[in-house]
Structure 1
Amino acid sequence: MPLYPLFADLAGREVLVVGGGEVALRKVEALLQAGARVRLHAHELHPVLAGWIDAGRIDRLRGDFDPAWIDAAWLMVVATDDGAFNATLAAQAGARRRFANVVDDAALSTFQVPAVIDRAPLQLAISSGGAAPMLARRLRERLEAELDPALGALAGLFARHRTAIRARLPELGHRRRWFDAVIDGPVPALLREGRDADAAQAFLAMLDDAGMVPAGGRASLVGTGPGDPGQLTLAALRAMALADVLLVDAAVAAPVLALARKDATRELAPGDPDACSGRVRDHAGAGRHVVWLRPGDGFREAPFDAIATALREAAWPCEVHAGVGDPAAWKRAGA
């Protein structure tokens, strides 16, 4: 049966947790992070849970379980190893129209806890409906590696200026185009570099322009390794997919270049490193995202490491993506 995806606001709301072991500890920790008021019933307690009770972070309900406790809760989480007791609690929750999660028992549960990717305030949740939780966790691990770590900070900028964005861009289509320009522009790159103040300034500058905003100048210096596209870093692939201009060294392998943005302008990189650097500056200064591709660990070895350092001191953002792989393979490939 398909589940209805739902993100619950539990801040200040009471949640009943039954169980005091390692699993209950993980559930309570996640609930506290969401701001819930946790009431816990358990005869034996994990030491960390006992410490949280002593510190007043959670309340302990003592004695035999009282079904009336469910009436005060918005949700109930059951984390005991007593199957019969779990079934009784699930039935009592159902009779009171309260959602209950019985850990590792999808049949008894009326809600599932998904695997979560946290880029606060942005959250992604993955659920298998309780059928294959390890598969959901594996997908979470893959997405954790692929998703830009700056997404949370970018979402925070959108959230803080939401009212101004809607006032400045009332037409939905126009607003969508503006969002695309910000997401594909220099703001995420500035956030990745830790230049939060510059990112905020660039964000507001784009908001000040009520017309369609260009993507903005920036540079990405990509080492393509031995020419195996499977060894490109995820950050390098993102840069190649967003390029306006590709400045390509003659030795870059064709399978690597095939992964780059198809409609980007492609230029053969001059043989002189300083001339290449000048070409990068020209494109970025004109508001384009230029990606310079070199084989091997192209921008962390002399003389290109010094050029990369100089480019990173420019006003527009410049990122260096290392080549990954065996240096011996780079030499065999002519890098």
Structure 2
Amino acid sequence: MDYLPLFTRINSKTCLLVGGGTVALRKAGALARAGATLRVVAPAISEELKALCGETGGEIAEREYTDTDLDGVMLVIAATDNEQLNQRVSASAQARNILVNVVDQPELCSVILPSIIDRSPLIVAVSSGGRSPVLARLLRAKLESTIPAGYGRLADLLGQFRDKVRARIPDFDRRRDFWEQVLQGPIAELVFAGRRDAAAAMLEDEIGTAKPDPRGEVYLVGAGPGDPDLLTFKALRLMQKADVVLYDRLVANEIVDLCRKDAEKIYVGKARSRHSMPQDDINQLLITLARQGKRVLRLKGGDPFIFGRGGEEIAGLADEKIPFQVVPGITAAAGCASYSGIPLTHRDYAQSVRFVTGHLKDGSMNLPWAELVHTQQTIVFYMGLLGLPVICREMIAHGRSADTPIALIQQGTTPNHRVLVGTLESMPGIIERESVAAPTLIIVGEVVKLREQLAWFENLSPQTL
């Protein structure tokens, strides 16, 4: 982050504007709306800018800039096409520790001015860090259409009840939860409909019946196979609501970053034979945090009920009568296969699909191999990288043809998505030659042949992405 976004009170503060043209007029308008006292200096000043200064009680000096113009100034904006003058204004202001913005020259700025969506008292600011003002304006235009004018009236109403709610609900987390319910319910809709008095009366009732005691709950959420775009809407909503996040090794950092910024984040990842937190401890931690009144997000890679031990985790919650929700995610088999151009079922090749754990225990797998070698089916092995030689050997030994196609997918659906294709006979040698690391998924069956025709993800152009 190159700049720290700040909202600065400039009401009745003197702000210097060096420049008198169209750009200066636009900047002056923003300053005036924030209540600043304008001081405009330029050899030629437009009539519109003069009129604005007259209406707001500003100063006009139709002459060349001098460093004494900085006296008593809180902020200076240089809006000229004279590069030497802009450099001088910037250097002089920064030498005095005065905030300075030079239009379209971010290297001369100590502050930059964002594009603004004004729903006062609600203000939304968008900035590209000075790299592309046009991009910031385009994003602002998109936001303008999604934020109704009524949000300003809503913010004003909530501000009037803020102290009363704080007195009724002292606990910070519970107070935040109360406001979230207000903002997502009928009170907000009444404000948007122009019925402010009815909204205020309903808010009074809600405050009177609010329960200050916290009541925790747990959200068991599937994070999908890796691509953040594959998260469900409900998953995103609960990720923004949770007070505490417990996440696994298979959850991408980009997905964890989508959780509420001030939520406590606890890593409980598990790798083969190396657990940062034993499963029993995770189960107990969910109960402990919920009993503290916290909203706990248990974020798991893929789908929590497919080789995710989600059932074990919520069983303890059910025993303790702790409320919970389960949000399914796209399991790795579906996501990785789709991004690899491998249909898991196909009329000509596979009428069924099986999900199997490929996890080794004492160097072997206790699986129904005789059932797994039937043709016209697809077998998907989770956690099977280390056991791949065993998988290939056992399937051949139990009757599956040695030339049966097999695909190994590494870090599926992510920018590092990689697919290795071979046969049951050749794949052990392929992974010995290639540098392969977990997480991986293994697909066995004739459907793998279709990848040659249907692969699409690796072929996307940057413009498509």
Contact 1:71 1:96 in 2 (8 A): no
**What is the match of residue 144 of structure 2?**
144
SS at match of 1:188: helix
- Superposition RMSD in Å: 2.3
Q: Report the Cα offset of residue 203 of structure 1.
A: 1.5
**What is the match of residue 323 of structure 1?**
none
Asked if 1:154 corresponds to 2:154, the answer is yes
**What is the match of residue 16 of structure 1?**
16
Rounded Cα–Cα distance in structure 2 between residues aligned with 1:54 and 1:138: 32
Letter aligned with residue 111 of structure 1 = V
**What is the match of residue 234 of structure 1?**
none
**What is the match of residue 196 of structure 1?**
196
Q: Report the Cα offset of residue 142 of structure 1.
A: 0.9
Letter aligned with residue 86 of structure 1 = N
SS at match of 1:107: helix
Letter aligned with residue 168 of structure 1 = R
CA 1:35/1:55 → structure 2, altered by over 3 Å: closer, same or farther? Answer: closer
Letter aligned with residue 30 of structure 1 = A
Rounded Cα–Cα distance in structure 1 between residues aligned with 2:53 and 2:119: 29
Rounded Cα–Cα distance in structure 1 between residues aligned with 2:135 and 2:74: 29
Rounded Cα–Cα distance in structure 2 between residues aligned with 1:171 and 1:41: 51
Q: Report the Cα offset of residue 65 of structure 1.
A: 2.1
Rounded Cα–Cα distance in structure 2 between residues aligned with 1:36 and 1:159: 23
1:277-288 correspondence to structure 2 within 5 Å: none
Letter aligned with residue 175 of structure 1 = R
What is the TM-score normalised by the length of structure 2?
A: 0.44
Contact 2:39 2:59 in 1 (8 A): yes
Corresponding pairs, count: 217
Q: Report the Cα offset of residue 54 of structure 1.
A: 4.1
Contact 1:75 1:98 in 2 (8 A): yes
**What is the match of residue 31 of structure 2?**
31
Q: Report the Cα offset of residue 56 of structure 1.
A: 5.6
1:47-126 correspondence to structure 2 within 5 Å: 47-55=47-55, 57-126=57-126
Asked if 1:3 corresponds to 2:3, the answer is yes
Rounded Cα–Cα distance in structure 1 between residues aligned with 2:112 and 2:56: 28
Contact 1:119 1:151 in 2 (8 A): yes
SS at match of 2:71: helix
Question: 1:164-185 CA distances to partner (integer Å, 9 max, x unpaired)?
Answer: 1111111112212211210111
Contact 2:13 2:37 in 1 (8 A): yes
SS at match of 1:101: strand
Contact 2:38 2:53 in 1 (8 A): no
Rounded Cα–Cα distance in structure 2 between residues aligned with 1:93 and 1:24: 18
**What is the match of residue 208 of structure 1?**
208
Rounded Cα–Cα distance in structure 1 between residues aligned with 2:200 and 2:192: 13
Rounded Cα–Cα distance in structure 2 between residues aligned with 1:64 and 1:126: 33
Question: 1:145-171 CA distances to partner (integer Å, 9 max, x unpaired)?
Answer: 122432211111111121111111111
Q: Report the Cα offset of residue 143 of structure 1.
A: 1.2
Contiguous gaps of at least 5 residues in structure 2 = 213-232, 238-465
**What is the match of residue 249 of structure 1?**
none
SS at match of 1:3: coil
Asked if 1:135 corresponds to 2:135, the answer is yes
Contact 1:20 1:46 in 2 (8 A): yes
What is the TM-score normalised by the length of structure 1?
A: 0.61
Q: Report the Cα offset of residue 94 of structure 1.
A: 1.4
**What is the match of residue 246 of structure 1?**
none
Contact 2:165 2:207 in 1 (8 A): yes
Question: 1:243-284 CA distances to partner (integer Å, 9 max, x unpaired)?
Answer: xxxxxxxxxxxxxxxxxxxxxxxxxxxxxxxxxxxxxxxxxx
SS at match of 2:107: coil
SS at match of 2:180: helix
Rounded Cα–Cα distance in structure 2 between residues aligned with 1:211 and 1:83: 61
SS at match of 1:142: helix
CA 1:167/1:143 → structure 2, altered by over 3 Å: closer, same or farther? Answer: same
Rounded Cα–Cα distance in structure 1 between residues aligned with 2:54 and 2:206: 50
Which of 1 and 2 has greater Rg?
2
Q: Does 170-179 or 14-23 show the bigger shift?
A: 170-179
**What is the match of residue 288 of structure 1?**
none
Rounded Cα–Cα distance in structure 1 between residues aligned with 2:95 and 2:23: 25
SS at match of 1:43: coil
After superposing on structure 2, the runs of 4+ consecutive aligned residues of structure 1 that deviate more than 6 Å are none
Q: Percent identity?
A: 36
Letter aligned with residue 173 of structure 2 = G
Letter aligned with residue 121 of structure 2 = P
Letter aligned with residue 12 of structure 1 = S
